[in-house]
Every structure is written in C-alpha cells, then in structure tokens.
Amino acid sequence: MARRIHIVGGGLAGLSAAVEVAGSGQHVIVHEAGPACGGRARSYEDRKLGCRIDNGNHLLLTANQSVFRYLGLTGALDTITGPERPIFPFVDLAEGGRWTLDLSPGRIPLWVLSPRRRVPGMRLGELISLKRLMDAGPEQTVAECLLPGPFSRRLLDPFSIAALNTLSDEASAALLGHVIRESLAKGGRACLPRFPKTGLSESLVDPALSHLSVLKADVRTSRRVTEIRTSGDRVTSLCFPDETIDIGQDDVVILAVTAPVAASLLQTALPDFKAPDAFEGILNAHFRLETPPQALGSFGEARFMGVIGALTEWIFLKGDVVSVTVSAANRYAARDPDELMAAIWGEVKRALDTMLAAPLPEMPAAQRLVWEKRATFVATPEQLRRRPGARTPFANLALAGDWTATQLPATIDGAVRSGVEAVRVLGLRGPYGETTGAVGSAAA
C-alpha cells in the first residue's frame, strides 16, 4: 500500500507541501479545518460590497523564488501581473510631495545618483542604514539601525513595517536585513512588483486545488484535527470530532496550521514546544466605486501606491475597488471602526485625486473594513527565538507555516517555502522520484 502523507492545514504552507509530492504515487491527504482552503491568502464574495475581494492585499517581488516556483508547478504563472519596471509610487501626506522610486535593473544602485529616481531629500550618507541592517546582530531593532533622515522616514521605515508587520522600534533588524539582501540588494530585476490579475484565490489557491485534483490528491475541508496521538518517536493517530485515523508505519504527517493551533495540538506530546505567541494585526479597508477610476502616471502603471505620514500605508486599485492596507494595526485597535474608515477614505482622496482622470466621490458606493487581529507573529528578536524548525523529535512529523524558522517574515513566500522544507526534512520524493528540496527566496 502506498505511503500516506497527511497534511494538516490547507493554507499556503499545506498546499505548497501537497503540490511538492502530489503525483508521486503516494496518497496525499489534506485536512483543512475550515470550509475552504487558502488560509489568510484567499478571495471571497463580500455581500456588503456586492463583489469578490481578497481578504488582504499582498505584493510579491520577483525575488520571491519559492512563490514563483509554486505558481509554475500549479500552472498559474500567467495569473500574475505587475509593472514592467521596478517602480514604487509614493505620496507624503504629512510633509507633501510625490515621487516614484525607480530602481536600477542590476545590482549597481545607480538610482541613488538620480534625484528623479530616489527618495526626495535623501542624502547619500543615509545609505549606511542599509549596511547597518544587513550587518545587524540578533538583538538589534530596526530603529537602532536607521539614520535619521528622509531615506529612513520615506522608505526604510515603511518598508520595514510592511515586510515585518511590526513597528520599527521593536522589529528585528537582522530579519529585515535578510529581506534586503534577498531583494533590494539584488537590484531592480529582483524587485519587480507582482500581484494577482484577478484575486488571491485565482492565483494561489484554485490552480493548486485543480492541480491536486488531477493528480488524485485528497483535499478534505471542514476537517478539524482535535488531537495528535504519539508513541515513542512517532505520531500514531490523528483525531477528528467524528473519527480517529491511524497513522501507519510508513505514513507521515505535516502539521501546517497556525502557531497557536500547533502549540495546542502538541502540548501533550511536546511539553517544551515553543512557537511565536505574540501577534500583530493587519487592517484592510475596501471601498467599492460605481465605476472603475482611470489611473494616471506611475500610479496607473503600478496600480498601487505607498502613503507616508498617514494612517493609510498602501493603496491598491483593483477595478472598481480601492483597497487600503495598514500594517502593525494593533495600535489602532481602540479607534471606532466608522471613524477609521472615514479617516482612511479622506486620505485616499488626498492621495489619489490628482493621480486619477476624475476625482473620487465624497463617499464610496460601499465599503468594508476587514481586520485580522492575529495576522502574523510580532517580528521581534524575542519572538524569532521561538520559531521552530520544520524537523520535530518525531520521525514522521514535520512542521510548516510562515511562523516556522524560514529566515523570512510571515509572508506568502515564507509560507510556501515552509511547505517545501517540511517535505524535504521527511525525505519525501516528488512525482519524478527526486527528493524535493527548499529553494532560496526573499520576503514580500
């Protein structure tokens, strides 16, 4: 009988693991607790807006090798789009000014020599902040490495918050330094912005599920694991509300759930198990318009914009929907939701009205606030020390998830990479007989 591979969790980490081994002659079974796969990177029909939206906004970079490999395996590369140049439009609502960060294609950062392509007002001496971040020790914070000035305020600080979902005065400088080495330091070709043409599910979830279906993998939704039983150095059974599945001698388990769920399921088998236990929120505000706006200039080319000096941090234009992302959002938890939405819409109008063929309306046709209060672990040095590797003391159990020790923040690329790594440490073989292995990647 073929080896069974039980993957607990149908988010991107679990789907990535399943895609690695599907079609190899092994029986792949994905157990997803919810009604649909995708986790935090999926799309859904929103009744209030009357349209389909993503539950969050995610910007990929061409440096995200793990994601693009995953998209290639599932046949979804053509569902991703983005500008042909490594451009990032910005507006500063506090101090005024608009600019477009226009990176050089290669590793030599010629863009810093051009006032038209770099951060306005920056001094070349401020670039030392990049070296400080890439050389940072494990206990240093991002804020400790940033020199005061426009380069930090208008680029490095917002980039850090977006990448790590943690405020700079407590975020790990070493983690951000790794992101910089794998993206900005590699030049503009590694920093081309990419995002789904239609939605997260249409790019990251639905093609994977179709791929798994063709290869006869078994994806089971609404299947919550309530207990993992072990004996000696092996997992022996998975318990569900209505049944218990025995894990055979040749079977393996990949636990690809959130950090709190993993800690709960392993508390008996591994009393000393550690995982991140402090979390940050992400706020997404979606505004639907009566007609799709016509974007101009670099905003029309990129379809997104960074906002400095405001509550709003990133604006994405998706047809007739304007979506806003605010990272490290726990700081706004006490604010009234209606007041937050009014403030954000006011900032959107200030940011976009001169970048559209016609001004935005005073009020959108419909709006929706989506607040994920435990979106990622807090990327502090203390929490990084709590990230476990994929390997566990049990010979037939591996861990996957963006909260594991991927060397990346809690991103899509980190989640996909973790699934590949879990497959590798279990010594599983892919559809062509090779032992699969993790690939290098960078954070989005």
CA distance 156 to 146: 8
Mean pLDDT, residues 231-243 taken together: 97
In the prediction, which pLDDT does 438 show? 39
How many angstroms separate the Cα of 43 from the Cα of each of 136, 200, 209, 321, 349?
Answer: 37, 6, 14, 14, 26
Q: Give the pLDDT confidence score for residue 437 in this predicted structure.
A: 45
For the chain, which residues make up each domain, given as ranges? Answer: 4-43+200-277+381-425, 44-64+73-82+194-199+278-377, 97-190
Report the mean per-residue pLDDT for the chain. 95
Q: What's the pLDDT at 55?
A: 87
Per-residue pLDDT, 436: 53
The residue assigned the tokens 């993957």 is 7
Give the pLDDT score at 160. Answer: 98
Report how far apart, in Å, the C-alpha atoms of 282 and of each of 44, 318, 321, 413, 429 are: 18, 19, 18, 18, 37
Mean pLDDT, range 1-25, rounded to an integer? 92
**Among candidate residues 68, 87, 88, 89, the one with its CA nearest the CA of residue 79:** 68
Is the pLDDT at 1 greater than 50? The verdict is: no
**Does the structure show a pLDDT above 70 at 384?**
yes
**Phi then psi for 441, rounded to 5 degrees?**
-160, 170
Report, as an integer, the average pLDDT of 127-146: 98
Q: Is the pLDDT of residue 444 over 70?
A: no
User: What's the pLDDT score for residue 430?
Assistant: 81
Residue 433: band (very low, low, confident or very high) from pLDDT cuts 50, 70, 90 = low
Mean pLDDT confidence for 50-77 = 95
Kind and range of the H or E run holding 15? helix 12-21
**CA distance linking residue 24 with residue 21, whole number of Å:** 6
DSSP code at position 421: H
Q: What is the DSSP string of 306-374?
A: EEESSS--EEEEETTEEEEEESSGGGGTTS-HHHHHHHHHHHHHHHHGGGBSSPPPSS-SEEEEEEEEE
Please identify, in words, the CATH class of the domain defined by 44-64+73-82+194-199+278-377. alpha beta
**Full DSSP string of 128-152:** HHHHHHHT--TT-BHHHHPPSSHHI
Alpha-carbon radius of gyration of the chain? 22
Q: Which two tokens stand for residue 364?
A: 């959108």
pLDDT at residue number 434 = 56
CATH number of 4-43+200-277+381-425: 3.50.50.60
pLDDT of residue 427: 94
What's the pTM value of the predicted model, to 2 decimals? 0.94
